[in-house]
Amino acid sequence: MAKELRQEQERLNHVMEILAEQIGKVEEDAARQRKEVVDIRKYFWEDVTVNQDNFDDLLETIISLRQQAEVLSLSQSSHRQSSKRLTSLRRMQENPYFGRIDFTEDGGPGVERIYIGVSSLMDPGGDDFLIYDWRAPVSSMYYDYTPGPAEYVTPGGKITGKLKQKWQYLIRRGEIESMFDTSLTIGDEVLQQVLGQSADKHMRSIVATIQQEQNRIIRQDSGRLLIVQGAAGSGKTSAAMQRIAYLLYKYRDRLTADQIILFSPNAMFKSYVSNVLPELGEENMQQVTFQEYLDHRLSDTYEVEDPYGQLEYVLTAAEDPEYRTRLAAIRIKASVSFFELIQAYRSSLEQGGMRFKSLQFRGETLISAEEMAEKFYGGDASVRFSRRIERLTAWLNERVKEVEKLERHKPWVQDAIELLSNEQYEQAYARIRKKLGLSEDSEEDIEGERLIAELERMIVRKKLKPLREEISSLQFVDLAEVYKRLFEEPQHAGSWLEGEVPEAWADICRLTVKNLDKDKLLYEDATPFLLLTELIHGFQSNVSIRHVLIDEAQDYSPLQFEFIKRLFPVAKITVLGDFHQAVFAHAAEAVDFNVLTGLYGVDQTEAIILKRSYRSTKPIVEFTRSLISGGDQIEPFERSGNKPVLTVLADLGTLRHRITNQVAELKAQGYTTIAIVCKSAAESAVAYEALGEIEELKLVTRDSIEYKQGVVVIPAYLAKGIEFDAVLVYDASIRVYGDESLRRLFYTACTRAMHHLQVYSIGTPSPLMEEAISLGSVLVET
């Protein structure tokens, strides 16, 4: 082994030398290209012939400008590429590669040693790969095979052969710290080390230790929809991030980062994952929360509730007389049936029921809502809905044109002319001259009448501009009223739906109308409302996005998935989630993602299940899996640690005292991120107040935009997707987690812990832990 290590170190030294050489060379290139860009910018106009005397000269000017712009863009692009390569080479100096496979290709010359790293590196002659990028086809064998027959797929076909050995390296600053011959799985030793580290402010890349089942997710590339159902901590988010890096590599000639969009649960999660791609030498994809999208589309019309507002209500408002009705509404409005109901309702609008807003001009009704309805429904009933909207728009524009002519001679226009300031007058005068084709130095004057006529026209046009905009953006359709009508006539739902009306429908309708009348759009109404808007206006789909990834997908309703599918009609979709963490009320009965198969059909859908949990120690996983049904399917990764402890206390005062002491102890043990996880924002606020003695304690709210290290108080639903060295569950008593419906929330809270989990309970513990207590997977102390 010592000899082997020495030889490997020699090879590494050689690689380091080549890296240093290449860095020197690329640095020179980058400096030269930078200078070129600066020079082109500086002398841009000197190299362009500008002449507008006649058409030919003008054409020549345009061509010359375009050529110069192209030269600039080419230099900028070369400089960008050199800078990118430089960053990646410098990163490789820290850790050039992490693995090696010895592979003999069938019919090939013999054993080839394939070294694998974050980026590829060629020898100076350009003949051999000293390091292969982890995403290269040949590298897939590193993740997929143990020694024995192996194969990989290249664009030219399948390559088969024998994998002889597999090695892992831990390299730091050009020194091999250790190397392992891994035969069974990819080095548990390295994975042990990685997983044993402290939680970080930013998620790390996992390329050195990707597991076989995760590799399938990363490289899966056929079909429109990939569904990943995975246990908490099984690496769904990690796989999603490396998948993006893989796609950007595989399709580097035609896919850019801004053609990929990741739907994230919240702003804090966005910042948490924002470092993975840059660490892998790639640009970040677009990231958005579904709420941001809803706000962007709806905030002009409504005050839109966010999902956490809905969740807080569900968690804390059980006493509200309308609680049950709202819960039923949330579930119904999340369903595919409701999607269909809205489609059917939209179809019914072809016969009648559209609501319009009259168009106002200078405080008076110009065109009434009734006139519009008459026009809309007056013509040929067989004309398509979208065509009718177009016709109505055209008609309204015509009417505005007529009005424009009539208004010109009205006294208000004359008054407006008189009130023009000198400056406004001069501006208007110059604009009119330009419009009439009179050059600046032309002596020709505009005769008075003509000038007045132009001024009148200009003033009326300006005044009518907002109205024209209202028409072109279809604001004359009273969407709020059209949506409300769906609930104003509960008896119609049956005919629209051609099926059974849900039980609580009449109550749901009453509650919805009540809220809409307050100009409040509850979260469960936001996507249905937007769907109806799109069905009336015509879908504003986005065809530039090629890949959509939806993380924490259990939080999305089937209706939202249908909506996203329509929004991105050409994109491939990757959906990652865990039904055991489905905390929103609409997902109460959902147990898997089967409903999604209907989106693109079985042929276009691939489903992968991840059972192994990597985040937490084995004792923590043994505890958390006993909190859910089917938890025995979850396999812990062999990482040792202390058994979780359930401490039953008498009162709040003792709880405060115990948590304060425990936090101090954990800090002393070297834990840097400690979360006190509460059930709701309301409980978090109380806990934060109560625990004031803890130094630099931070409260995480839905507005927090960064993952904070140190000690935090956080509601469980906001901790989703992220992790902490130690988790203290604030109060897991029967009073707080008494209801079966909270099982998934409680599971989410406990699965955030990496190394240490402590659960407190004031009085009788929650029945959700019954099985765990009887199995002995948690230590109970009083």
Bind-site residues for ATP: 230-237
**Nearer residue to ligand ATP within complex by CB, 580 or 656:** 580
Compare residues 233 and 765 and give the one whose CB is closer to ligand ATP: 233
Are 623 and 771 spatial neighbours (Cβ–Cβ below 8 Å)? Answer: no
Distance of closest approach, residue 210 Cβ to ligand ATP, in angstroms: 5
- Shortest Cβ 241–ligand ATP spacing (Å): 8
Choose between 331 and 580: whose C-beta lies nearer to ligand ATP: 580
Nearest residue (CB) to ligand ATP, 305 versus 578: 578
Q: Tell which residue, 323, 283, 706, 345, has the closest CA to residue 492.
A: 345
Residue 281 CB, nearest approach to ligand ATP (Å)? 18
Q: Which is nearer to ligand ATP, 100 or 615 (CB)?
A: 615
**756: part of which helix (H) or strand (E)?**
strand 753-762
Closest to 415 (Cα-Cα) out of 459, 465, 365: 459
Least distance to ligand ATP from the beta carbon of 368, Å? 54
Q: Are 727 and 757 in contact (CB under 8 A)?
A: yes
Nearer CB in complex with ligand ATP: 524/723: 723
Can you tell me which residue has the tokens 């080839």? 112
- Closest separation in Å from C-beta 306 to ligand ATP: 20
Rounded CA-CA distance 581/750 in Å is 11
The percent of the chain in helix, strand and coil, each rounded to the nearest 5, is: 50, 20, 30
In the complex, the smallest distance separating the C-beta of residue 747 from ligand ATP, rounded to whole angstroms, is 10
Q: What is the DSSP letter of 258?
A: G
Q: Which is nearer to ligand ATP, 191 or 677 (CB)?
A: 191
Rounded CA separation 412/602 (Å): 66
Q: Can you read off the two tokens belonging to residue 158?
A: 């399948």
- Residue 555 or 731 having the CB closest to ligand ATP: 555
Q: Are 201 and 707 in contact (CB under 8 A)?
A: yes
Tokens representing residue 212 in the block: 């076989």
Contact 296, 290 (CB under 8 A): no
Bridge partners of 99? 116, 168
Of 238 and 284, which CB lies nearer to ligand ATP in the complex structure? 238
- Supply the minimum distance, in Å, between the C-beta of residue 608 and ligand ATP: 12
**Residues contacting residue 511 through CB under 8 Å, at least 6 positions apart:** 322, 325, 326, 329
Q: Closest distance between ligand ATP and the C-beta of residue 268, in Å?
A: 13
Q: Which SS3 state, helix, strand or coil, does residue 518 take? A: coil
Least distance from ligand ATP to the Cβ atom of residue 610, Å: 7
Closer to ligand ATP at the Cβ: 528 or 721? 721
Return the number of the residue (624 or 761) whose C-beta is nearest ligand ATP. Answer: 624
The DSSP code sequence of 698-739 is EE--TT--S---EEEEEEHHHHTT--EEEEEES--BTTTS-S
Which position's Cβ is nearest ligand ATP?
235
Read off φ and ψ for residue 361, nearest 5 degrees: -140, 125
User: CB-wise, 331 or 547, nearer to ligand ATP?
Assistant: 547
For 702, phi then psi, to 5°, come to -65, -15
Task: Using the minimum distance from each CB to ligand ATP, give the nearer residue, 615 or 743.
Answer: 615
- Give me the least distance between CB of 129 and ligand ATP, in Å please: 24
Distance CA 73, CA 217 (A): 37
- Closest to ligand ATP by CB, 496 vs 747, is 747
Q: Which tokens is 484 given?
A: 């409300």
**Residues within the annotated binding site?**
230-237
Q: How far apart are CA 260 and CA 546, in angstroms?
A: 6
Element at 521 (helix H, strand E): strand 520-521
CB of 371 to ligand ATP, least distance (A): 55
Query: CA nearest 242: which of 253, 228, 254, 232?
Result: 228
Ordered alpha helix ranges (H), 251-363: 267-272, 276-279, 290-298, 307-316, 323-333, 336-348
Name the site residues for ligand ATP (rule: CB under 6 A): 191, 194-195, 204, 206, 209-211, 214, 230, 232-238, 578, 581, 614-615, 721, 723, 751
Nearest to 488 by CA among 459, 469, 507, 513: 513
Cβ 578 to ligand ATP shortest distance, Å: 5
Angle at which helices 385-407 and 369-378 pack, to 10 degrees? 130
First to last CA, the chain: 53
Cα(72)–Cα(33) distance, rounded to whole angstroms? 10
Alpha-carbon gap, residue 278 to 286, rounded angstroms: 13
The CB-of-394 to ligand ATP minimum distance in angstroms stands at: 51
Smallest distance, Å, CB 290 to ligand ATP? Answer: 17
Distance CA 275, CA 287 (A): 12
DSSP 265: S
Indicate the burial class of 569 (C-beta count within 10 angstroms; 0-12, 13-18, 19 or more): exposed
Helix H or strand E encompassing 548:
strand 547-550
Nearest residue to 558 (alpha-carbon basis) of 590, 522, 523, 525: 590
Contacts (Cβ under 8 Å, ≥6 apart) of 10 = none
